Amino acid sequence: MAKLVAVTACPTGIAHTVMAAEALRRTAALMGHGIAVETQGSNGVQTPLSAADIAAADAVILATDIAVDDSRFAGKPILRTSTAAAIRDTKSVIGNALGHAPGAQPETAASQPTPKPTPTAVRSPGLLVAITACPTGIAHTFMAAEALKQAAQAKGYRIKVETQGSVGAKNALTEEEIAEAEAVIIGADTHVATDRFAGKRLLKTSVGEALKQPARVIDEALALPAPTSTGGAATGSAAAPAYADAVSGAKARPKEVPSGPYKHLLTGVSFMLPLVVAGGLIIALSFVFGIEAFKEPGTLPAALMQIGGEAAFGLMVPVLAGYIAYSIADRPGLAPGFIGGMLAAKIGAGFLGGIVAGFLAGYIARWLRDTIRLPQNLEGLKPVLIIPLLGTLAVGLLMIYVIGTPVAAIMNGLTAFLQGMTGANAVALGALLGAMMALDMGGPVNKAAYTFAVGLLASSTYTPMAAVMAAGMTPPLGLALATMVVPSRFTMQEREAGKAAGVLGLAFITEGAIPFAAKDPLRVIPAAMAGSAVAGALSMWFGCGLRAPHGGVFVLAIPNAVSPLGPYVLAIVAGTIVTTLGLMILKRRIEADPTAAPTLGSAAPTPTSPAPSGAGR
């Protein structure tokens, strides 16, 4: 009789966790083996394994759909599988685990004894390191990190993922971990410095690819040629480590996704957002004392308007331009980018001028950096003197004499058009923005609508922002309501996930609907788009304005952050109901045992099964 230990865990830690544990206990007993099973989930660790259990075990089974710590099982044969496999094919799972256990006899006919398997050394799992980052650094950043962890675990690798989000870098990689790593994965939609990974296999991809196809991303990273001992450093997106071809020895660039204008724009937006949030809410606080109270010098409302309106909003466009340039040319682009953005703000070109200035500054600075050649002892002058001077002169003169005036005219015309929108035009714009928010739920189309609305805040145009936030809240709220109203259309796992989706929806985290959309896109996405279009259209029709670009219902509690408040809440409720009704019509009743349905966030996510959302936008 063999002795086994196992750990089961699924995202919610309820249905599949418990069912897998029970299946392993029952089947092991029927096969004549002893097993101790620990369950991990939202309610903590149940029936924890003791040190004695682990020491006596011939093999370890990790039937998990989320990452778990396996360091305590060092030196033990480990079989990694999913909770679904442990439930449906339990006997094979146990048999496979026993096949790696020295001294354990596989199940055979009594009359045909089999030889004892030869003990084999257990290979220490290799280490991968990764960085994930999205423009706001909330939802996709952490969802991609979780997906990479699960996929690496399924492949037998350890992984350390650094997340670069709105609160800075978390779980930061150490020099020792980078040195040990077999490959580096950068899953980011914003600029990430890569100079510390010199001499390593380095794969650059988008955060969306890391989320939706983490297994393929890991395979591509590991398939890169081994680096040479003299591989160069990768600096931003301009230089990359050199790699030796396995056969010819020729050097090649690492595989990466081209970092085009979209990625540079999102980098600028990600650094601008904190200023927009802080400035918008502080301006709203000044209105608590009266809409025109800030006009009285020396008063608290005047001070609040000075902080939010003059300082925070005054920095929005320069920061946008500066970090677009930084994404293109790294640090040499910062000075011309900030100065070009400040000029754009002064001449009234708004966020459109800031975008133009940022791209001009970035590409000019990069061209200067790559073109100018100086003696080695004078190279230090380029980033601190030559590039800032020449780049700023070029961008400044172009903005003042060539580009600034036409862009300012376009911006003024757009602002006047949007502020004067009423009736059918406003409803159509709101419906379009709403549908875009729900189409890919945090993807490029969603971010395009969001960026458009955020940029208009600098021009005191608040209605598109209100429509975008209302539309972004309704998909997860509608799904949460649907799981309660028509539970027969959803699996047990989906019903549990619906509770989390409701909380995410209240916080304006559209990505809470992604697990549902990934599993059933042809029914969920149309229903979500319909509800979001209704929410956006009603918000524009009511003339609702929002002064802060994030926060969901938590912003609604701040006086004058949203106005008018009642109709805005009505727009969100209407969009949620429409989404729910769409799901009731389109989703089919589940006839099979819901516990046998595939889980959300499996151990090896695929393009149609991304990891569950664990964080915000």
Q: Is the peptide bond before 113 cis (omega within 30 degrees of 0)?
A: no
Contact call for residues 265 and 324 (beta carbons, < 8 A): yes
- 83-to-11, 23, 26, 30, 426 alpha-carbon distances in Å: 10, 10, 15, 19, 49
Question: pLDDT band at residue 485, thresholds of 50, 70 and 90?
Answer: very high
**Distance between CA atoms of residues 457 and 541, nearest Å:** 19
Place of tokens 């090896």: 604
- Mean pLDDT value of segment 403-420: 83
- Mean pLDDT value of segment 495-515: 84
Lowest mean pLDDT among 113-117, 153-157, 498-502: 113-117
- Mean pLDDT value of segment 41-67: 83
The pLDDT assigned to 102 comes to 58
Residue 616 pLDDT greater than 50, yes or no: no
Within 8 A by CB and 6+ apart from 296, the residues are 302
The pLDDT assigned to 85 comes to 81
Q: What are the pLDDT digits (tens) for 202-221?
A: 998 888 788 888 889 998 88
**Distance between CA atoms of residues 412 and 403, nearest Å:** 14
Contact call for residues 80 and 156 (beta carbons, < 8 A): yes
Task: Report the DSSP beta bridge partners of residue 5.
Answer: 36, 60
Question: pLDDT band at residue 473, thresholds of 50, 70 and 90?
Answer: very high
The pLDDT assigned to 100 comes to 63
Question: pLDDT band at residue 11, thresholds of 50, 70 and 90?
Answer: low
**Distance between CA atoms of residues 454 and 440, nearest Å:** 18
- Mean pLDDT value of segment 237-247: 31
Place of tokens 């539309």: 471
What's the pTM value of the predicted model, to 2 decimals? 0.58
The per-residue b/e assignment along 75-85, b for 16 or more CB within 10 angstroms, e otherwise, is ebbbbbbbbbb
Give the tokens for residue 79. Answer: 């079989």
Exposed, middle or buried: residue 503 (CB in 10 Å: 0-12, 13-18, 19+)?
middle
Maximum alpha-carbon separation in the chain: 99
Within 8 A by CB and 6+ apart from 327, the residues are 190, 191, 236, 237, 259, 263, 264, 267, 268, 333, 362
Q: For the chain, what is the mean pLDDT?
A: 80
Q: How many CB atoms lie within 10 A of CB 138?
A: 23
Cα radius of gyration rounded to whole Å, the chain? 28
Q: What secondary structure letter does DSSP report for 197?
A: G
Q: How many CB atoms lie within 10 A of CB 96?
A: 16
Angle, CA 223 vertex, CA 222 and CA 226 arms, to 5°: 80
- Mean pLDDT value of segment 356-363: 94
The pLDDT assigned to 408 comes to 87
Q: What are the pLDDT digits (tens) for 556-573?
A: 877 778 888 899 999 999
Positive or negative, the CA dihedral 579, 585, 588, 589 is positive
Strands (E), 117-208: 127-133, 158-165, 168-170, 183-188, 202-205
The per-residue b/e assignment along 183-206, b for 16 or more CB within 10 angstroms, e otherwise, is bbbbbbbbbbbbeebbbbbbbbbb
Q: What is the SS3 assignment for 350?
A: helix
Contact call for residues 538 and 573 (beta carbons, < 8 A): no
Question: pLDDT band at residue 449, thresholds of 50, 70 and 90?
Answer: confident
Residue 536 pLDDT greater than 50, yes or no: yes
Q: Which of 144, 70, 131 is nearest to 605 (CA)?
A: 144
Q: Report the helix count and the strand count for the chain, using DSSP H and E.
A: 24, 14
**Distance between CA atoms of residues 336 and 342, nearest Å:** 10
Residue 242 pLDDT greater than 70, yes or no: no
Q: Is-catalytic flag, 134?
A: yes
Give the tokens for residue 427. Answer: 């409803």
Residue 385, CB-side half-sphere exposure with 13 Å CA sphere: 5
Q: What is the SS3 assignment for 58?
A: coil
Q: How many residues does the chain have?
A: 617
Question: pLDDT band at residue 296, thresholds of 50, 70 and 90?
Answer: confident
Q: What is the SS3 assignment for 421?
A: coil
Residue 257 pLDDT greater than 60, yes or no: no
Strand 158-165 to 168-170 pairing = antiparallel
**Distance between CA atoms of residues 186 and 142, nearest Å:** 13
Residue 250 pLDDT greater than 60, yes or no: no
Q: Which of 59, 63, 78, 134 is catalytic?
A: 134
Q: What are the pLDDT digits (tens) for 316-338?
A: 899 999 999 998 888 889 999 99
Q: How many CB atoms lie within 10 A of CB 443?
A: 20
Residue 305 CA, distance from chain mean position: 33
The pLDDT assigned to 261 comes to 82
Q: What is the SS3 assignment for 78?
A: strand
Q: Which of 304, 334, 309, 305 is nearest to 319 (CA)?
A: 334
Lowest mean pLDDT among 6-10, 221-225, 502-506, 515-519: 515-519
Q: What are the pLDDT digits (tens) for 70-109?
A: 888 888 888 888 887 888 788 888 988 887 665 544 443 3
Contact call for residues 219 and 205 (beta carbons, < 8 A): no
Q: Residue 600 is which amino acid?
A: L
Q: What secondary structure letter does DSSP report for 490?
A: S
Q: What strands, in cross-sheet order, belong to the sheet with 59-64?
A: 44-46, 34-41, 3-9, 59-64, 78-81
Residue 27 CA, distance from chain mean position: 39
Q: What is the SS3 assignment for 184?
A: strand
